[in-house]
């Protein structure tokens, strides 16, 4: 799998070829620093954290970011040696911490975990009382008067589940959730996964409903900021960029492009065409074109950007190297594998010289090079590169780092391409076990590994097990990402192919009715995929072309059965 640079909305902070998780703490900091200044009355917001020390760190960062915008963020820490009432404490805090003249204010609350049941008790049938949260729920109508400004609650995931259970009405008032959780924070007990998902809608990877709420929040922020501060104000532009993030994550690439283009125009007007932020937005437009299958347009924009980056930043700047590598991936996607490999081989020594041979970004380039070698049929050489990258990533990042797990899966892909399906299957199963433990069962990388495992099984003729896995992954992706997300559609397409193989196997064995049933179900999934692709991808996308052809092939196969 190619690792592609996305640098959406960031200043020049270096290159990151790996697909970033837009729900990480840096994104949460940026989202909170954009949203909170835009509202002046009471709004309930939630900041999820895992480690108190990291909470304090991010709170300090947010305080500084808001102060730059004349917003005072004060912290109310709930005392541990009493039975406090949140409403009373908020009234006292608001009265004793007035904002400076001309400033807005936001009140943050920490320490709620000291007054809520533990994890096991929250999910127990005989759960204990929680007067702190129950009283807060009963007095919820008074909160806008006690706190006439945004209220930010620092909550662990356990406390979030408790609040959703003990104070459901107050919990439903929340307008934004900022996820400051870091990888080490998400290893909460597996017994809590179901309650947290059911009560609060939050998992380690948000579902489509959470993403739509994020979209709505950024649209609201963009509307407010544009009306109050104007279309060219930095906060309006940042809201547009964050909205594009949300749309991109939902697979709505054309909409993301449409949002990014006016953001780029505003950047050109306000900070100039060669400012790093302007260049970064142009990069994201190219990435959105690439994702839509508009590969020629993406290539053209990458080439133009490469000239600008070389002139403004120099040929060896990490951002310049990122553009050059994205150009290579766009060429590879168009079947121009030889030119893509040539560019990647040019980029690699520059990355080693600028960042070092063991830098994660350098290793990403080497991993991409291995994929290009594999695309050109140099599967043995590709396997060797994958193994070298794996050894480096294990040494630098550790065995459980997501980037390390990605290389292990890429190595399994290389083995499968060489016809070593059994060896690939064993490696896929090992990676799947680690990803379920580290990243969770519904993380996109975990679901991708399950799909690749299904492919290895199908290659070995184990089509029944492959079908079962693909059906389960399709249900998970539809629930998490939505039925028309490109990743969901690809699973539906793969399931249709597997059902077609099952039909051909049944036909070979002389079971005509079974063959007909498989072909009919395969056609149903193929048409479902085709319809979703028309809505999301458009008729010219390479994947959509495959979907359309697959429907035609299945219709012809069924017609032959009727003869």
Which tens digits make up the pLDDT trace of 313-346?
899 988 899 899 999 988 888 888 889 999 999 9
Q: DSSP secondary structure string, 173-218? A: TEEEEEE---GGG----GGGHHHHHHHH---SS--HHHHHHHHHHH
- pLDDT given for residue 171 in this prediction: 85
| Local structure of residue 82 (DSSP, 8 states) | S
Output 400-405 pairs: Cβ under 8 A, ≥24 positions apart.
400/434, 400/437, 400/438, 402/18, 402/183, 402/438, 402/439, 402/445, 403/18, 403/360, 403/363, 403/364, 405/431, 405/434, 405/435, 405/438, 405/439, 405/445
The answer, as to whether pTM is greater than 0.95, is no
- pLDDT given for residue 223 in this prediction: 83
- pLDDT band with cut points at 50, 70 and 90 for residue 480: confident
- pLDDT given for residue 154 in this prediction: 96
- pLDDT given for residue 16 in this prediction: 27
Comparing 321 with 185, the larger pLDDT belongs to: 321
Rounded CA gap, 139 and 128, in Å? 20
Tokens of 233: 């104000």
- pLDDT given for residue 440 in this prediction: 79
- pLDDT given for residue 183 in this prediction: 53
- pLDDT given for residue 119 in this prediction: 54
Say which residue the tokens 């133009």 belong to. Answer: 304
Say which residue the tokens 């930095």 belong to. Answer: 234
Lowest mean pLDDT among 15-29, 175-189, 298-312, 403-417: 15-29
Rounded CA gap, 151 and 170, in Å? 12
73 DSSP β-pair partners: 106
Lowest mean pLDDT among 122-136, 182-196, 229-243, 378-392: 182-196
71 DSSP β-pair partners: 104
Q: DSSP secondary structure string, 391-421? A: HHHHHHT-TTSHHHHHHHHHHHHHHHHTT-H
Tokens of 59: 């709170």
Comparing 12 with 97, the larger pLDDT belongs to: 97
- pLDDT given for residue 346 in this prediction: 94
Which tens digits make up the pLDDT trace of 392-421?
989 888 888 888 899 999 999 999 989 998
Burial of 189 (0-12, 13-18, 19+ CB in 10 A): exposed
- pLDDT band with cut points at 50, 70 and 90 for residue 185: very low
Phi then psi dihedrals of residue 378, to 5 deg? -90, 65
- 49-56 mean pLDDT: 83
Instruction: Give 3-state DSSP helix, strand, coil % of the chain, rounded to 5.
Output: 70, 5, 25
Q: What's the mean per-residue pLDDT of the chain?
A: 82
- pLDDT given for residue 561 in this prediction: 83
Say which residue the tokens 């939505």 belong to. Answer: 482
Which tens digits make up the pLDDT trace of 143-152?
988 899 999 9
- pLDDT given for residue 24 in this prediction: 63
Rounded CA gap, 227 and 237, in Å? 13
- pLDDT band with cut points at 50, 70 and 90 for residue 120: low
Helix residue ranges, H only, 250-378: 253-271, 276-291, 295-312, 318-333, 337-355, 360-375
* Residue 463 scores a pLDDT above 90: no
* Residue 467 scores a pLDDT above 50: yes
Grouping H, G, I as helix, E, B as strand and the rest as coil, residue 519 is: helix
Contact status, residue 408 vs residue 367, Cβ threshold 8 Å = no
- pLDDT band with cut points at 50, 70 and 90 for residue 205: very low
- pLDDT given for residue 23 in this prediction: 46
Lowest mean pLDDT among 62-66, 122-126, 502-506, 515-519: 122-126
| Local structure of residue 81 (DSSP, 8 states) | S
- Neighbouring residues of 536: CB distance < 8 A, sequence distance ≥ 6: 251, 252, 253, 484, 485, 486, 489
Say which residue the tokens 């837009």 belong to. Answer: 22
Contact status, residue 338 vs residue 381, Cβ threshold 8 Å = no
Domains of the chain: 25-123+132-204 (3.40.50), 461-563 (1.25.40.10)
Tokens of 554: 């299945």
- pLDDT given for residue 103 in this prediction: 93
């Amino acid at each position: 799998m190619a690792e592609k640079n996305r640098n959406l909305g960031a200043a020049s902070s270096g290159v990151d070829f790996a697909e970033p998780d837009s729900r990480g703490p840096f994104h949460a900091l940026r989202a909170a620093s954009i949203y909170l200044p835009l509202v002046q009355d009471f709004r309930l917001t939630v900041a999820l954290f895992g480690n108190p020390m990291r909470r304090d760190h991010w709170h300090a960062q947010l305080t500084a970011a808001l102060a730059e915008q004349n917003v005072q963020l004060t912290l109310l820490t709930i005392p541990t040696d009493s039975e406090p009432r949140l409403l009373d404490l908020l009234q006292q805090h608001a009265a004793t911490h007035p904002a400076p003249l001309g400033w807005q204010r936001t009140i943050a609350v920490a320490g709620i975990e000291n007054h809520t049941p533990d994890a096991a008790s929250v999910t127990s049938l005989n759960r204990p009382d929680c007067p702190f949260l129950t009283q807060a729920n009963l007095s919820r109508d008074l909160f806008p008067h006690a706190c006439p400004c945004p209220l930010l609650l620092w909550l662990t995931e356990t406390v979030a589940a408790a609040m959703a259970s003990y104070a459901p009405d107050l919990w439903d008032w929340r307008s934004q959730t900022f996820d400051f959780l870091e990888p080490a924070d998400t290893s909460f007990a597996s017994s809590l996964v179901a309650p947290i998902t059911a009560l609060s809608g939050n998992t380690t990877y948000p579902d489509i409903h959470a993403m739509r709420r994020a979209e709505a929040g950024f649209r609201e922020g963009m509307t407010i900021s544009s009306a109050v501060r104007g279309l060219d104000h930095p906060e309006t532009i940042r809201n547009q960029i964050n909205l594009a993030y949300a749309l991109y994550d939902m697979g709505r690439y054309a909409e993301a492009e449409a949002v990014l283009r006016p953001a780029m125009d505003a950047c050109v007007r306000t900070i100039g065409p060669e400012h790093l932020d302007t260049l970064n937005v142009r990069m994201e437009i190219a990435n959105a074109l690439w994702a839509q299958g508009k590969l020629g347009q993406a290539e053209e924009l990458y080439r133009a950007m490469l000239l600008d980056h070389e002139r403004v930043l120099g040929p060896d700047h990490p951002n310049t190297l990122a553009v050059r590598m994205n150009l290579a991936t766009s060429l590879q996607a168009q079947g121009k594998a030889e030119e893509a490999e040539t560019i990647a081989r040019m980029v690699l020594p520059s990355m080693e010289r600028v960042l070092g041979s063991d830098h994660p970004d350098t290793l990403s380039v080497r991993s991409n090079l291995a994929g290009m070698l594999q695309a050109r049929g140099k599967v043995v050489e590709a396997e060797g590169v994958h193994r070298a990258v794996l050894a480096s990533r294990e040494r630098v990042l550790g065995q459980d780092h997501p980037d390390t797990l990605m290389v292990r899966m890429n190595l399994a892909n290389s083995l499968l391409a060489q016809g070593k399906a059994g060896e690939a299957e064993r490696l896929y199963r090992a990676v799947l076990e680690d990803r379920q433990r580290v990243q969770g069962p519904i993380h996109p990388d975990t679901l991708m590994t399950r799909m690749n495992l299904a492919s290895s099984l199908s290659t070995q003729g184990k089509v029944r097990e492959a079908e079962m896995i693909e059906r389960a992954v399709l249900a998970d992706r539809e629930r998490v990402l939505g039925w028309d997300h490109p990743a969901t559609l690809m699973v539906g397409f793969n399931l249709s192919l597997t059902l077609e193989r099952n039909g051909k196997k049944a036909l070979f064995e002389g079971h005509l009715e079974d063959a007909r049933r498989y072909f009919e179900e395969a056609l149903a999934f193929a048409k479902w995929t085709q319809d979703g692709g028309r809505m999301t991808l458009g008729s010219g996308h390479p994947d959509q072309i495959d979907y359309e052809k697959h429907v035609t092939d299945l219709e012809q196969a069924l017609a032959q059965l009727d003869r």
